[in-house]
Amino acid sequence: MLSPEAWLAFARAAAGHLDLFGLLGLAFGFATGLMPQRRLILLSSAACGLCFSVHFFRLGSSTGTAMNLIAVAQSLLAARFVTVRGRPAWLDAVFAGTFVLAAILTLATWNGLPSVFAGLAALVATTARLQAAPQTMRLLLIGAALSWASHNILMGSVYGLTCDCLGLLGFTTSYLRTRAAIRPALGTLDPVPSH
């Protein structure tokens, strides 16, 4: 059994790793993976990105901070302007510009492998946000979450890594649930085999 002094030492050590923005980012990240609609996925993702930009700034990951701020802008633009009917032509130019900006900021804030994974996550997530189909978006966001998980392992972000794991679980669950619901409907379109 631990003495009261040992518990106090443990509590002090744990308090040094508590971060309100990391905790909020974790909550929004988990919610993002479970959102049923594309627009809600993007809005929740924007809130998550805003929280994690502050979290990564506090951890000293300038690349992670920059990529999350770009993600916030992209998510809000995509939520507003990308629809099943298409998107305005200017939005492609804006997203191309944000991708070039992400590449420049990755190089400007270079921190070795963490920067590689943050930049890769930004590339895959940028592609995801331009998708009108939620299923395609979810698959790409699974790839982005895997890249962020690698970044967060290297940066020692417990909140980030936990968020990535919960996001992977949420996106995968939502993807499989939606796929299972779509399959029976598609099955009725199959031709009847002739004997």
What's the angle, vertex CA 184, arms to CA 139 and CA 168, rounded to 5? 20
What's the angle, vertex CA 147, arms to CA 94 and CA 71, rounded to 5? 30
pLDDT of the residue at 88:
95
Of 118, 96, 95, nearest to 107 (Cα)?
118
- Cα distance between residue 80 and residue 20, in whole Å: 28
Tokens of 20: 């309100």
Contact in structure between 83 and 132 (CB atoms under 8 Å) = yes
Of 177, 179, 155, 153, nearest to 165 (Cα)?
153
Instruction: Give me the residues paired with residue 86 across strands.
Output: 83
- Ranges of residues in the chain with a pLDDT under 70 are 1-2, 6-18, 184-195
pLDDT of the residue at 192:
45
